[in-house]
Amino acid sequence: MIKIPRGTQDILPEDSKKWRYIENQLDELMTFYNYKEIRTPIFESTDLFARGVGDSTDVVQKEMYTFKDKGDRSITLRPEGTAAVVRSYIEHKMQGNPNQPIKLYYNGPMFRYERKQKGRYRQFKQFGVEAIGAENPSVDAEVLAMVMHIYQSFGLKHLKLVINSVGDIASRKEYNEALVKHFEPVIHEFCSDCQSRLHTNPMRILDCKVDRDKEAIKTAPRITDFLNEESKAYYEQVKAYLDDLGIPYIEDPNLVRGLDYYTHTAFELMMDNPNYDGAITTLCGGGRYNGLLELLDGPSETGIGFALSIERLLLALEEEGIELDIEENLDLFIVTMGDQADRYAVKLLNHLRHNGIKADKDYLQRKIKGQMKQADRLGAKFTIVIGDQELENNKIDVKNMTTGESETIELDALVEYFKK
């Protein structure tokens, strides 16, 4: 038997309705913030991610699904959404649009060769937003407010917003030099990944999961001490807006995020619920990227965005014991007696469905008792029984499956009955 590839999952009907509900809710929420959907290919030129995500990142070095196509071009299944959205922004010359910033959102499968663990898959569904074309602290605050709004709209309460400023390019350059000087004498004690990052992306050493408890990380210089006046002012304005909005946050000077393109504001939303052993889970992450467009041969414009995993959102809801209010039951199940009634039911079903009524029937020639059980299993709100007598008299009994009460109506008036 051929089985599903490791690190992937089948989303069966009972679960897919939860996905559909969440995605519909996210679509609706985006209209409140004036964000428009964008759809990009699931594969792109490998160079897009090498340049846009960063050669020194784990994503590019270890996790991408890359292959040569029949034209001998290097192609990669997208590991994240931002680079592709920015590529599309540049390619379609959206910078000329007067409606700046351009507010975009996406929702689609991403691919990373990661170690399988709870809530992480090698194919995963990512929802994200990008606001491109405005460097303004109020835009950063709006994006952070949106993050909180999304998770709170699903009833999640144990949320912790963690923020930091990674400064502008000049601040980062000075800070990276200080980190190299700090870690160089002890780098031999660190993992091989950290050793390779020392001269390529030393900030990522602070984010190491293997060596995070080492004294050198605890005593490392802090980015906040290297921010120039412009970066400090920007960060203070972002925090002031959050205070105005009443959004609580925690500052973490070691928060650097995993991708190279972040500048100024960086953030993560954590879930901290003491009821499950104080576990803290990263639900969402993002930040500002002021050099990414130029890095991809685009204009000198800025952007900010975030991405969240639908899988991890579902896991958070499960851990919090939150049930989604999903209504997908049938309006009507038709029970038939005899060939003539069964044939008529096919025509009736077509008529009902074209009038917006969710309906179904039995297809296995079950007896009446078996058909009624099937109606109950499908969660039908109402049932009708059609036989020769009902067809002859044009009368049917509509049974309410919740109350058990029945009402006799004309068969021809069935659509009107459900629309009243």
Binding residues for L-histidine: 80-82, 112, 126, 130, 257, 261-262
Contacts of 48 (CB under 8 A, 6+ apart): 76, 83, 84, 87, 296
Beta bridge partners of 164: 266
Contact 42, 77 (CB under 8 A): yes
d(CA 171, CA 175): 6
> What are the C-alpha distances in Å from 206 to residues 166, 257, 344?
12, 10, 70
Count CA atoms closer than 13 A to 50's CA, side-chain side: 8
Annotated binding site: 80-82, 112, 126, 130, 257, 261-262
Query: CA 126, CA 120: separation in Å to the nearest integer?
Result: 11
To 10 degrees, what angle do helices 137-153 and 13-32 make?
140
For residue 112 the two structure tokens come to 């990373």
- Cα–Cα–Cα angle for 323, 328, 329, nearest 5°? 115
CA distances (Å), 347 to each of 26, 50, 67, 142, 360, in order? Answer: 37, 57, 51, 52, 12
Q: 208-212 contacts: CB < 8 A, separation 24 or more?
A: none
